[in-house]
Structure 1
């Protein structure tokens, strides 16, 4: 028994000695062998394994190393292999087109543990790169050139504990996103390009950004965390970038969790520019042309899992200004079939509609003025409406439109689906009354079709038209209803083809007597009223009934009835040519001195009409006065005295 035990002990001793001798021989071989002789065989084996070309055009050395001083002493002295190679190239798969390589470096110095290789784990304890050039590409089929297997989860896992570099040129090409960015990356001063895993990290690298995103050019600068955290599964990558995306200025900051296995992130995003429409080249979201804007909020992106290709975007708690308008709220951009969906809730304390509408440039204004035009001829772009669907809710406490129009409690719900835009409901308060309506714009054909119906109730004229000084005495209320439909790709074209009706009624109240007397050319009363303050007359009613056909607004009825006079207006307005042709016929109820009681006309462009008396009746009266003046000066005033007529109150008849 004792003999057998000694024999077994001797066998174990010799076996251990043989293993130690073999290990020593292997260690000596690794340290002394000229590995340049094995380069062709090794690179070919790796090329076959990875299905892409691997080249080492310079020297290659394999030796032993120990850990850096930053490691605990318990593991620092465990032997590990160190490979140093020069002019290293990792090629691309055959489908890649952005470049002929995935990575290239003037020198690669990598140190890794031996035993984890048996468990298909590549624990890289130290990786040093000299002038690396990396081109990462994702093609239209969502294949990634940095993945070396088609397996959902690769057999080999990689853990890099320390990374150092001097200057890195990193390019990222993403065909599905239409993204091509280049990052010219260097370590921040004082960092030396050394990144240690599991240490407290801040911003450690700086980079310049150039390239394009969709149809927008990108240029800017930024700082980021340790590049090592872009490669490890549990990395946290702090990021700050600022630059121009198209014509918009963008500031982005925050932390990207687990960038290598990214399914959710949240960053602070600030945007500013001359118009929200400037975001279209990058976002392909058809936002309106607006006044200059500045907004900031929290941007998050989320996908279902690592295999999901669609990201949903959420812009939370955004706040900012557009021109003189303040805005806040949240927005979502969801990838859905057949079109993405924009959902937004926008709130405002003060909203100026002019800030949200396309401004006309000086040339357009000059051309419009020269042609007597005031309606916008700027073309809508309905093709952009097909880029997405939308559900937008807008609420504003105060809406201010210079010079003197003010709205309160605006609320509208906007929906866009397959290029069919509806605004329903649309409601607000103004001039002490309420306005409600709905609008539909159908861009599913070449010439857009639009329909609008607006209803206004109990609108106080004094508040509705405060800019007219002569109307300060008016306390009547306005009720109105308009229903219009037309086709065209601009406001001017829509009205030029409009069909529908406009009806309005002013209830009993008081109105400035100066306006009525001036309309009747009662010179004496007009001068008296201007010098000694305006008096008021009782307004029985005012009625307007317009029929719109093929862009022609026909005055079926337009009457102003007071205790002093009745004014009838007939004629039409050509909405296509923006010209009016009206007859205004005042009839006095009372005796007036110096009344030039003759019909008036209003003709010409809407923005600058010519208003005056018809010359025939006026000249006849003036001639009669001149003839009588030869007989007696007092008698000359007789033709200028209106005796008045007993005119019935038209309100009861016409309502």
Structure 2
């Protein structure tokens, strides 16, 4: 049997086919070694770290070839030992056809026992900081991000050591129901505080989805701070359509600063919760409810990030204790004999006014429009009702207009403006108080059943300065107070609660049974120095008058108070009461000699009784208790006052 010889064209086709088969066979045999070499060389060059594949490399050929890498390591920088990354196995499937269109699609990615060690032994070294590359020209298009169809992580572990931050963490991650969710857990110390983490996230394969909600459930403990987050996100990488229930709890907002580096003030224990959503660029916290100490708070808050950030809030409290929020006004709570006392940040041994400047940089970062209402406010021993405040912060200008509240059955209305848009702030304050009951103003004081009295007043100040101490040191304006239907005894009891010293109380003791039908005090301030304009406490037997200065820059007192008797009584020869010292440590003293020496100043003292009729309507006396304050002021005019002073001095000299 003879075999036909193949034609030439058939021989050529057969030869080419056999050659291709041989080449493909050789390529498939060499491919694993080539892939290993390329990954090691390219990875090492880009990371400036040695990348090694210690195990075999497997390739399953198809239109979606699967590549398996075993025992992969990424070395640490030379200054530390061991590996930064180790992985028992990495298995990835690559879709070839999408590559033709510039898309990277990984139908599946499996990471078995990945371990990452993050180490920062000092402030200038961290193994996750790679060698800086030379800056490149901006790319016209963003880099291509691979799309992952299915992700599986088994026994993943991340260790974190940050020496300067006193942080040592162990985090674990693993897949549950592949392509569905990831379980997270962790423990260790974060910034020196005990740390635990438990939670679950949706599959990373869904982070770019614009349709599917991405579930989030986390519980984080840092010391005594707890955060719980539960809800969904749309496209988590872009934070679209956020809908999360958030609960925060801790021993104090000031301690949260240590945990999350937010500049929050010192407060009591707190717990807040609400529904956090995001629409466009605006974040909203709705159904917000919380407790700070014993103070409750609820309402809505919205924040729009930017430069500056803008916040809008409508908040309500049923009960607010000022000491719970003392840190918000630059004061710090301090325990004294088991009780919390608000201590301002004062500068100097004899200074009491807070000298810590308000931070202009913080004010310029935020614009705000906040409305706040509180039914009951407890500030020290004072009870406040029906507080209403509207705060507007815009371009460094703070406006509190109005600030209205009820106190002691009376009303206070105030407007406050601080312009911090310039290096030296400018502050303006206007306030009116009307019909305040002295008895209710000091609820713990045991007054007599009658003659408690009502108080009213006006305050208007303007001042430059970047702290409370600086503002008062340069303040210009006036203060007026008026009292009706009071008594010396009740004034004596009230002053005793202020621990003003025995000298002042002894000076008043001889008049304790006297009523005070009317009292008016007016001060005028210029550049931090306040002088008395009117000082009159009218009683049936005598008028108590005074003059002096209050130096708000030095925080010192220099006042003289004396009696103008209407009849010859034992108090006729009483010497003047001197008030000196500092705001922190006032000094009271009585001297008969000074009365004789100062008799020539009678006309000057009398001139201080200037008209103060504008204050009288603010007293708001009760029905049936009409007080003729104008007549009392006229009877204590300059001429009568001077004559009485001279006669009192003569009587004192004879004695």
Coarse TM-score class (shorter-chain normalised): 0.5 to 0.7
Counterpart position of 2:89:
107
The answer to whether the 8 A contact 1:257-1:265 is kept is: yes
Counterpart position of 1:174:
none
Counterpart position of 2:496:
none
| Alignment gaps of 5+ in structure 1 | 1-17, 66-77, 92-100, 140-144, 172-180, 305-310, 530-535, 621-646
The answer to whether the 8 A contact 2:579-2:587 is kept is: yes
Change in Cα spacing, 1:281 to 1:367, as seen in structure 2 (3 Å) is: closer
2:581 is the alignment partner of 1:602:
no
Counterpart position of 2:9:
none
The answer to whether the 8 A contact 1:229-1:237 is kept is: no
| Alignment gaps of 5+ in structure 2 | 1-13, 76-82, 119-126, 131-135, 161-166, 337-341, 494-503, 598-628, 638-655
Counterpart position of 2:107:
124
CA displacement at 1:506 relative to structure 2: 2.5
Q: How does 1:49-448 map to 2 (within 5 A)?
A: 57-58=53-54, 61-62=57-58, 64=60, 81-86=65-70, 105-111=87-93, 122=105, 124-125=107-108, 127-131=110-114, 133=116, 151=141, 158-169=147-158, 185-187=171-173, 193=175, 195-197=177-179, 204-207=183-186, 220-225=196-201, 227-229=203-205, 233=209, 234=212, 236-244=214-222, 250-260=227-237, 262-273=239-250, 275-276=252-253, 287-302=264-279, 304=280, 311-337=281-307, 339-357=308-326, 358-359=331-332, 371-403=349-381, 405-448=382-425
CA displacement at 1:456 relative to structure 2: 1.2
CA displacement at 1:408 relative to structure 2: 0.9
2:35 to 32, 39, 46: 39
Counterpart position of 2:646:
none
Q: Secondary structure at the match of 2:363?
A: helix
After TM superposition, the structure 1 stretch with the greater mean CA deviation from structure 2, 406-415 or 315-324, is: 315-324
| Whole-Å separation in 2 of the counterparts to 1:271 and 1:283 | 12
Equivalent residues, number: 548
The answer to whether the 8 A contact 1:560-1:566 is kept is: yes
The answer to whether the 8 A contact 2:537-2:543 is kept is: yes
Change in Cα spacing, 1:224 to 1:614, as seen in structure 2 (3 Å) is: same
| Whole-Å separation in 1 of the counterparts to 2:263 and 2:311 | 10
- CA RMSD between the two structures: 5.4
| Whole-Å separation in 1 of the counterparts to 2:560 and 2:100 | 100
2:426 to 449, 452, 476: 449
| Whole-Å separation in 2 of the counterparts to 1:648 and 1:418 | 47
Change in Cα spacing, 1:282 to 1:462, as seen in structure 2 (3 Å) is: same
The answer to whether the 8 A contact 2:275-2:288 is kept is: yes
Change in Cα spacing, 1:401 to 1:157, as seen in structure 2 (3 Å) is: closer
The answer to whether the 8 A contact 1:64-1:82 is kept is: yes
TM-score, normalisation: structure 2: 0.67
CA displacement at 1:272 relative to structure 2: 4.2
The answer to whether the 8 A contact 1:164-1:195 is kept is: no
CA displacement at 1:586 relative to structure 2: 1.8
Change in Cα spacing, 1:331 to 1:445, as seen in structure 2 (3 Å) is: same
Q: Secondary structure at the match of 2:573?
A: coil
- CA offsets per residue over residues 390-415 of structure 1, 9 Å max, x none? 22222111111122x11111111112
| Whole-Å separation in 2 of the counterparts to 1:486 and 1:250 | 43
The answer to whether the 8 A contact 1:476-1:511 is kept is: yes
After TM superposition, the structure 1 stretch with the greater mean CA deviation from structure 2, 275-284 or 351-360, is: 275-284
CA displacement at 1:244 relative to structure 2: 3.5
| Whole-Å separation in 2 of the counterparts to 1:238 and 1:395 | 34
Change in Cα spacing, 1:564 to 1:420, as seen in structure 2 (3 Å) is: same
The answer to whether the 8 A contact 1:523-1:595 is kept is: no
Q: Secondary structure at the match of 1:36?
A: helix
Q: Secondary structure at the match of 2:358?
A: coil
Q: Secondary structure at the match of 2:332?
A: coil
Q: Secondary structure at the match of 1:489?
A: coil
Counterpart position of 2:545:
568
The answer to whether the 8 A contact 1:226-1:237 is kept is: yes
| Whole-Å separation in 2 of the counterparts to 1:118 and 1:367 | 67
CA displacement at 1:116 relative to structure 2: 7.7
After TM superposition, the structure 1 stretch with the greater mean CA deviation from structure 2, 567-576 or 275-284, is: 275-284
CA displacement at 1:298 relative to structure 2: 2.7
After TM superposition, the structure 1 stretch with the greater mean CA deviation from structure 2, 282-291 or 496-505, is: 282-291
- CA offsets per residue over residues 364-408 of structure 1, 9 Å max, x none? 9799799444333344333322222222222111111122x1111
CA displacement at 1:571 relative to structure 2: 1.4
- CA offsets per residue over residues 463-513 of structure 1, 9 Å max, x none? 234444456533433221111122333322322222111012224x34345
Change in Cα spacing, 1:602 to 1:81, as seen in structure 2 (3 Å) is: same
The answer to whether the 8 A contact 1:519-1:586 is kept is: no
| Whole-Å separation in 2 of the counterparts to 1:294 and 1:585 | 54
The answer to whether the 8 A contact 1:229-1:235 is kept is: no
- CA offsets per residue over residues 121-156 of structure 1, 9 Å max, x none? 7462562434255999999xxxxx9xxx975795x9
